[in-house]
Amino acid sequence: MKKIFYELPTLYDAKGQTDKDWHIAYKEWDENSNKLERVKKYGKLNRLPVEERYAEAKSMIAEFTKYLEEKFPDQEGYVKTLAEHIADICRSKQDLKDKSAATYRVFKKDFTEFLEKNKMLKLLAPNFKVSHAFAYMDHVSDKAEVNSNTTWNNYRNFMKVYFIELENREIIKVNPFRKIRLKPATEKTHVPFTPSQQKALAKLLWDRFPNLYLFCSLVFYCFIRPGEEIRNLKLKDIDWDQRQIRVRGSYAKNNTTQFVKIPEEFYNFLMRHFSHYKEMDQELYMFGHDLTPRKCKVHKDDPTKWHKEFLLELNIPTGDEGCTLYSWKHTGAIRAVQSGINLKDLQLQLRHASLDQVDKYLRGLGMLPSNELENKFPSMESYSGLALVG
């Protein structure tokens, strides 16, 4: 390994929070101090909407990388460490959707912290062996937030993907994470609200936090997912005339821009309480830091945290097998079937690709697509030709 004159630039995005400063950081050799010095660059990052910041960061990183390579040509031929390769791969994924790019950063950060804790920051990629991979997964098992096999498997799968990329770049020959088997994971449980829970929770939300009630209503009536889909809604996505809402593909689970209907009951509610949204700046996010329209969207964890506080107040079970913010979507689907809405209309509102997908989803909720079997099946005795009783 040659002398290090610089470390490549990296984006620090405050975990996606827009109320904190974002910056690009790198290190370069300083002749006065005779060591690497950290440099921060902000540019116009913090003046841009969040969806434009990652593109600007990519441009800034390319600019500073070129600057460092030209200033320190003697570093050519330097063999990068494993941590530096992982950082390079993470940077290459920043063109992905917000959620995907952020996930890459989360796993990169945790893996780098593991390397640092175990004094392996200078380890070369080919020297990371299967024993190191098992040690990392033991580290994952000890994390308080890793409380299910599914979460553990996510860590393993993401690190396997990182090392597949190292294989593809011909930096390593063998992926050490291939030897680690997945743990058995139970299928995720869909837990809707009971009618009494739904009624009590809706009343409490409306009385104490009307904008969280609105947030949950979009999940219940329009089946808009309470993660990236709702957080990225802007006022301009509401078509008041056509009574529909646009869910943009860049934030949708299926990567496709689609429209969902605003049911009449929900539309009338919106007109009574939120029609002033039509007169506001349509570029505002529908849910800002306090769930009112703002230039910056609400932090991804806040609606879940606030909603959980109300669940606990009402003693509604939470956690892996309890109710969550998602329960409004599941409850809405059940109420739609119970009210007689046909499956094709339900499929369009759910934005499912097929009726089979709707059927599987409803069965996961303990619902049959039709109650005709339950209500209209004839008795055995009444069928002509059969006299099995009596």
Instruction: Dump pLDDT digits (tens) for 202-243.
Output: 999 999 999 999 999 999 999 999 888 999 999 999 999 999
Contact partners, residue 113, CB within 8 Å, separation at least 6: none
Nearest to 275 by CA among 247, 303, 241: 241
CATH of domain 82-186: 1.10.150.130
Q: For residue 52, what pLDDT is reported?
A: 85
CA–CA distance, 27 with 39 (Å, rounded to integer)? 6
Q: Mean pLDDT over all residues of the chain? A: 87
Three state DSSP letters for 109-160: HHHHHHHHHCCCCCCCHHHCCHHHHHHHHHHHHCCCCCCCHHHHHHHHHHHH
> In DSSP terms, which residues pair with 245 in a beta bridge?
238, 260
- Dihedral class, residue 7 (left if φ above 0, else alpha if ψ from -120 to 50, else beta): beta
Buried b / exposed e across 186-219, counting CB within 10 Å, b at 16+? eeeebbbbeeebbebbbebbeeebebbbbbbbbb
How much is the pLDDT for 387?
40
pLDDT given for residue 30 in this prediction:
85
Strands 6-12 and 35-41: unpaired
- For residue 188, name the pLDDT band (cuts at 50, 70, 90): low
Task: Answer whether residue 293 shows pLDDT above 90.
Answer: yes
Looking at residue 1, its pLDDT comes to 46
Which pLDDT band, with edges at 50, 70 and 90, does 332 fall under?
very high
d(CA 146, CA 240): 43
Provide the pLDDT confidence category of residue 114 given band limits of 50, 70 and 90: very high
Choice between 351 and 4, residue whose per-residue pLDDT is larger: 351
pLDDT at 49 over 70: yes
- The pLDDT of 164-180, averaged and rounded, is 94
| Residue with the two structure tokens 């000890």 | 142
Q: Looking at residues 276-297, what average pLDDT do you find?
A: 95
pLDDT above 70 coverage of the chain, percent: 89
What pLDDT sits at residue 251?
82
Q: What is the mean pLDDT of residues 29-46?
A: 88
pLDDT band at residue 378 using 50, 70 and 90 as cut-offs: low
pLDDT in the model for residue 71: 85
What is the per-residue pLDDT across 116-129, written as a single tens digit (0 to 9) for each? 999 999 899 999 99
pLDDT beyond 90 at 70:
no
| pLDDT, mean of residues 140-155 | 86
φ, ψ of residue 348 to 5 degrees: the values are -65, -40
pLDDT of residue 307: 95
d(Cα 28, Cα 6) in Å, to the nearest integer? 4
Which residues are within 8 A (CB) of 369 and not within 5 positions of it... i.e. 6 or more apart? 337, 343, 358, 359, 362
pLDDT at 97: 61
Question: Exposure of 63 by Cβ count < 10 A (0-12 exposed, 13-18 middle, 19+ buried)?
Answer: middle
- How high is the pLDDT of residue 252? 83
Least-confidence region, from 58-67, 173-182, 343-352, 377-386? 377-386
Specify whether the CB–CB gap between 64 and 73 falls below 8 A.
Answer: no
Greater model confidence, 321 or 248: 248
Beta strands per DSSP E along the chain: 6-12, 23-30, 35-41, 238-239, 244-247, 258-261
Domain boundaries, the chain: 1-78, 82-186, 195-374
CA-CA-CA-CA torsion sign (67, 73, 74, 78) = positive
C-alpha to C-alpha distance for 308 and 287, rounded to whole angstroms: 18
pLDDT for residue 388: 38
In terms of pLDDT, which residue wins out, 94 or 246?
246
Tokens 């046909």 sit on residue? 342
pLDDT of residue 279: 95
Is residue 152 over pLDDT 90?
yes
Instruction: Using the predicted structure, report yes or no on whether residue 305 has a pLDDT greater than 60.
Output: yes
Question: 386 falls in which pLDDT band (50, 70, 90)?
Answer: very low
Architecture of the domain defined by 195-374: Orthogonal Bundle (1.10)
